[in-house]
Copies of this chain bind each other. A is one copy, B any other.
Amino acid sequence: MYSLAEENYLKAIYHLESKSQGAVSTNAIADAMDTKPSSVTDMVQKLAEKEVLSYIKYKGTSLTKKGKKTAANVIRKHRLWEVFLVEKLNFHWDEVHDIAEQLEHVHSEELISRLDKFLGFPDFDPHGDPIPDKHGNVKPTEKKLLSELNKNQKGVCVGVKESNSDFLQYLDKKNITIGTKVSVLGKEFFDGSMVIQVGRDQFFISKKIAENLYIQTN
């Protein structure tokens, strides 16, 4: 069982590692966690003893298999709770992070497996990020911005990039939500605007909109 602080470190290191290959620097962790490098050194040494990461002085850290699994599990919980908050409690996508940040530390395997079932075994959270399975595996996914698709390509909406209230309301009006199928009927190279099909509706969208919607294409 890991403490709240330990879980947060593992999570942060997991994210940093996936963004920039290779060992993660002490400063980078301190930065991500809004804490001081000296505190990071302490914690990282402690976590190295618990064998969730390997740490070489002055060289940085990287998660072990065990550490990756633990981190992925915390992330799994975070994302499942986000789905719950949006789908069941009708929060908006951009309101749920802080709450999920707390809920992710509730310890109970059974709780999470039942929550998963209750939510219909979702694959993505409301931001379009994939939800790891209970073994910590993340399905490799083909997530693109809608603006990167070309004519006749299609996919499923899995999230938004930046979520301001106006944009979310626009999506609402157009009946676009997580899981909605979207097809590109036409694309204007001139301004990046598109004509897309959503359900039985066809309509025009600007480049700005297209750059804010994540689509999964496989």
Contacts and interface: CB of A to CB of B under 8 A. Distances in A.
Within the oligomer, what is the number of copies of this chain?
A: 2
B106 A90 contact: no
Chain A's interface size range is 10 to 19
Given A88-B118, A118-B89, A107 B111 contact: no
A99 B91 contact: no
B111 A90 contact: no
Contact of A102 (B89, B107, B114, B118): B107
Contact of A99 (B95, B98, B108, B118): B108
Given A95-B110, A99-B108, A103-B106, 4 more contacts: A85-B111, A89-B111, A90-B114, A91-B114
A102 B91 contact: no
A117 to B, nearest CB: 8
Interface string A84-98: 010011110001001
Contacts of A88: 118
A175 B98 CA distance: 40
Contacts of A108: 98-99, 102
A107 B105 CA distance: 13
Contacts of A99: 106, 108, 111
Contacts of A85: 111
Highest count of chain B CB atoms <10 Å: which of A89, A90, A98: A89
Contacts of A95: 110
Nearest to A4: B4
A122 to B, nearest CB: 15
A168 interface: no
A115 interface: yes
